[in-house]
């Protein structure tokens, strides 16, 4: 009888212990997940838009902890400890070199560490900045003015996706007849003064490749948009959306018009055809026979009309949940627009703005 009672107690203890171990395992797994999520967040760039260039000097003999403090003080990393641990994990902490560096707030910690391993800026390096919304020809002109590239050579290389599609998987999704318009990411770059036109193009394509994340790809797939459609729409948003807070709303207007089978009627696409940014388009301008003219063609134009920044790319796949079909520029310093659902509301908004 006593033996039976003891056996029953042992049987009861087994499931209690099993439940205890399961609960402890869940707690540990949740803890690991929480730590991983926190670390991943700390490894992200400081900014994804309004990226700023930052020059720093790493003194000789600086330890990884001192370098981390310099980077944190200059708002280039989020967490000193995470930086040091990540550097140790990647076996880079003893490879950092002293010197002068040009970083930017859009760089990941891994990119920053890579530059620290390569070494500082030499007297033969130079930086250049390409603003968001620049067209290929404007990029070429800026590089030409800085004596970094021959304009004609640069434009010739950038005129065909096929010149670089063997090197970049994402370019295989872009129609071969298109140029690299829209895919040379606007940012601040550092190159050697003797860098070739190809070197510069590759650097800009690498930046685009890094920023076109799996999350953006997944959103695009949900909307049934391919890469070229996303960047084409993003480039129009970039040129139309002056106020950052409105980009997702402008995106929604274009999405709504496409769904309704309406023409986008974007002034930016006509300005692209004209090769100039006229503040007011004439009736003749809107009737130009071109596949890029969204006043006479439905849907998106064949390809991008400028280089969009990450904010506009994200807006293209994250349209606001609104039913607006029209917008008109308020002609204010903030660059805001008035949005309307019906054409009658739109006409009233235009008349009100004209009377100001």
pLDDT value of position 106: 85
Low-confidence residues in the chain, pLDDT < 50? none
pLDDT value of position 255: 97
pLDDT value of position 286: 85
What residue spans define the domains of the chain?
53-118, 126-211, 219-354
Nearest CA among 51, 179, 30, 24 for reference residue 105: 51
How open is the CA angle 34-37-43, to the nearest 5 degrees?
A: 140
- CA-CA distance, 124 to 350, in Å (whole number)? 53
- CA-CA distance, 250 to 30, in Å (whole number)? 40
State the DSSP H helix or E strand holding residue 277, giving kind and residue range, or none if neither. Answer: none
Contact 108, 46 (CB under 8 A): no
φ, ψ of residue 193 to 5 degrees: the values are: -65, -20
292-327 pLDDT, tens digit per residue, is 999 999 999 999 999 999 999 999 999 999 999 999
pLDDT value of position 53: 78
- CA-CA distance, 266 to 284, in Å (whole number)? 15
pLDDT value of position 39: 60
φ, ψ of residue 326 to 5 degrees: the values are: -140, 155
pLDDT value of position 36: 62
| Max intra-chain CA distance, the chain | 104
> What does the block give as tokens for 307?
């280089």
pLDDT value of position 120: 77
- CA-CA distance, 237 to 142, in Å (whole number)? 23
Fold of 53-118: Dna Ligase; domain 1 (3.30.1490)
pLDDT value of position 134: 95
Residues in the chain, total: 356
């Amino acid at each position: 009888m006593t033996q039976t009672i003891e056996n029953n107690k042992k049987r009861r203890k087994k499931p209690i212990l099993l439940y205890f171990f399961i609960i402890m395992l869940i707690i540990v797994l949740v803890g690991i997940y929480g730590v991983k999520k926190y670390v991943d967040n700390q490894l992200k760039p400081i900014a994804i838009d309004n990226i700023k260039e930052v020059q720093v000097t790493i003194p000789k003999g600086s330890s990884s902890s001192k370098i981390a403090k310099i980077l944190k003080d200059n708002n280039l990393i989020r967490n000193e400890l995470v930086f040091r641990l990540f550097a140790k994990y990647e076996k880079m902490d003893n490879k950092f070199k002293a010197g002068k560096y040009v970083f930017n707030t859009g760089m990941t910690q891994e990119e920053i560490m890579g530059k620290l391993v390569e070494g500082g800026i030499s007297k033969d390096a130079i930086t250049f900045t390409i603003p968001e919304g620049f067209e290929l020809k404007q990029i070429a002109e800026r590089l030409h003015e800085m004596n970094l590239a021959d304009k004609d050579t640069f434009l010739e290389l950038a005129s065909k996706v096929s010149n670089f599609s063997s090197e970049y998987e994402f370019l295989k999704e872009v129609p071969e007849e298109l140029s690299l318009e829209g895919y040379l990411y606007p940012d601040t770059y550092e190159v050697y003064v003797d860098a070739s036109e190809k070197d510069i193009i590759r650097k800009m394509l690498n930046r685009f490749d890094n920023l076109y994340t799996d999350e953006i790809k997944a959103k695009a797939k949900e909307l049934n948009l391919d890469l070229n459609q996303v960047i084409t729409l993003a480039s129009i948003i970039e040129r139309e959306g002056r106020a950052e807070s409105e980009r997702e709303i402008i995106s929604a207007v274009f999405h709504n018009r496409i769904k309704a089978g309406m023409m986008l009627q974007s002034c930016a696409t006509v300005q692209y055809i004209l090769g100039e940014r006229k503040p007011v388009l004439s009736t003749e301008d809107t009737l130009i026979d071109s596949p890029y003219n969204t006043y006479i063609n439905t849907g998106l134009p064949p390809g991008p009309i400028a280089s969009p920044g990450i904010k506009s790319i994200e807006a293209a796949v994250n349209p606001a949940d609104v039913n607006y079909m029209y917008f008109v520029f308020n002609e204010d310093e903030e660059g805001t627009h008035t949005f309307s659902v019906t054409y009658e509301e739109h006409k009233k908004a235009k008349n009100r703005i004209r009377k100001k």
